[in-house]
Structure 1
Amino acid sequence: MRINGRSQVRPEPGVEIVASRPDPGLGDRFAPAGRPTAVVEVVRDGETWFLAVRRIPGGGTEAIPYRKDATVPTLSAFLAYARTQYAPNESGGSEGLR
């Protein structure tokens, strides 16, 4: 995946984008304000994946994958899940999606 300065995601060969939401509001633990981000539903090799995508310093792209399952079956469910993973908590915050 590649993300541009307007939070638009482009797939690599062999990956089909099903849906994308730019600037999904995952918070500062995911990316500082103003940095391009998106959540994306993709299909690769017949499997559906959800990705939290961010631009990293130097202009590269980082895509953190989560394979579709019964717990997180839609892009909206993935977005809700990802927001909880990056939300601050009593000990400062979670580890994110990793």
Structure 2
Amino acid sequence: MQQSSRPCPADIPLCCYGNRPQIVTTMGAPTGHRLGHPCPALIHIECHMCQKATVPSPSLAITELRWTDPTLDQLLIPISHLTRARAEVLAGLPKQAA
């Protein structure tokens, strides 16, 4: 797997004053990913100072909404759970047509 990150734009609110959340894009299949199943790039926002992240999504718009909408705080997870969450998201995607 390969990851790239960039700072969140100014219109995305900070989690806490002085923190610097990042938009992270992960490409490639995690260990144990089933052959023939889709593996799009997944995006999440994370803050290492707060140790929280959004559940990964293939959509940047959904990821930003999860970070900014307080009613979706159940979709914020500890950074240590990202590997498992990424595998769950990929396993939940429909299998590609042959």
TM tier relative to shorter chain? 0.3 to 0.5
Please identify the structure whose Cα radius of gyration is greater. 2
- Normalized per residue, which structure has more strand? 1
What TM-score, normalized to structure 2? Answer: 0.41
- Normalized per residue, which structure has more helix? 2
What TM-score, normalized to structure 1? Answer: 0.41
